[in-house]
Amino acid sequence: MTTLYYDPVLDVHHRLPVSLAMTTAYYAMPQHPKDARRLFDAACAAMGLDREIETTLNPSRSYGSALVMAKEWGLDDIVERVSAAVDASFEPTWDTTRGEFTWGMGLGEPHPRGQFNAFLAAAEAAGPGRWTALSAAPLAPCPQIVDVDFPNVALTRAEWHGETLLLTMAPLEPDSNAWTEFRIVGVEPRRWSVNGIEGATTDVQSNSVVVRLPRVAGNLEFMPSSD
């Protein structure tokens, strides 16, 4: 058994099967990594994640948290096994109409289950040391893209390479005669240029840049202007 909650006033443990240690390990890992690893290993053994996974997984947020921790610690064998089981069991789905990626979890519900999807999405972004770093200190300020006209327009890529921001535009209904815009905030107040989609323009406003362009699919490069 494992203690999920403890009331120090009443001295009461909320005890559950050890597989639920995957939840407490997730939250304990940034502060107490050694204890979290003990809980993680015990939960992996109880859930069968330390060996070949031969059955369909039941809907649970535990598999997402297991992937976050396995990636955090570089446990590639567990990552490979659990990722394959998640893909086979949890209905990873692109909704091309809305431009959203979710997991149906086999529940047959009209909307994706929030917590289950949140943990799996976190696992997609996880990597060695990332959960610990995220919990250890506030995030450093960084440029952000805001005011995107979603779902009419989505960005399937937004990645800085040095001083160049690479973007991929994915409109719901491409229309070269329609226009859309978004802002990039947190950048230096200097001139910026944008290339890749004909007609795209930038307008510098204090610490943000307004990007206006036709509502078409394509790749953009946003960079400091040489002018």
Question: Which domains are present in the chain?
Answer: 2-136 (no CATH), 144-224 (2.60.40.1180)
- pLDDT for the residue 95: 83
Structure tokens at 147: 């005011």
Structure tokens at 11: 């001295």
- pLDDT for the residue 186: 85
Those residues with Cβ within 8 angstroms of residue 208's Cβ, 6 or more apart along the chain or in another chain: 183, 184, 185, 186, 187
Rg (CA), the chain: 22
- pLDDT for the residue 82: 96
Residue 148 CB-half CA count within 13 A:
19
For residue 6, is it left (φ>0), alpha (ψ between -120 and 50) or beta? beta
- pLDDT for the residue 153: 92
d(C-alpha 143, C-alpha 105), whole Å: 34
Q: With bands split at pLDDT 50, 70 and 90, how would you rate the model's confidence at 227? A: low
Q: With bands split at pLDDT 50, 70 and 90, how would you rate the model's confidence at 4? A: confident
Segment 114-157, tens digit of pLDDT: 999 999 999 999 999 988 888 887 777 778 899 999 989 999 88
Using CA atoms, how far residue 210 sits from 56, 175, 187, 190, in Å, is 48, 20, 11, 13
d(C-alpha 225, C-alpha 201), whole Å: 12
Evaluate if residue 107 carries a pLDDT over 80: yes
Q: With bands split at pLDDT 50, 70 and 90, how would you rate the model's confidence at 55? A: confident
Segment 146-189, tens digit of pLDDT: 999 998 999 988 888 888 899 999 998 999 999 999 999 888 77
Q: Please state the rounded mean pLDDT for residues 208-212.
A: 91
One-letter amino acid of 184: I
Evaluate if residue 215 carries a pLDDT over 90: yes
Segment 80-92, tens digit of pLDDT: 999 999 999 999 9
d(C-alpha 141, C-alpha 151), whole Å: 26
- pLDDT for the residue 41: 97
Q: Please state the rounded mean pLDDT for residues 221-226.
A: 83
Closest alpha carbon to 103 in 87, 118, 116, 92: 92
Query: DSSP state, 141?
Result: P
Evaluate if residue 206 carries a pLDDT over 80: no
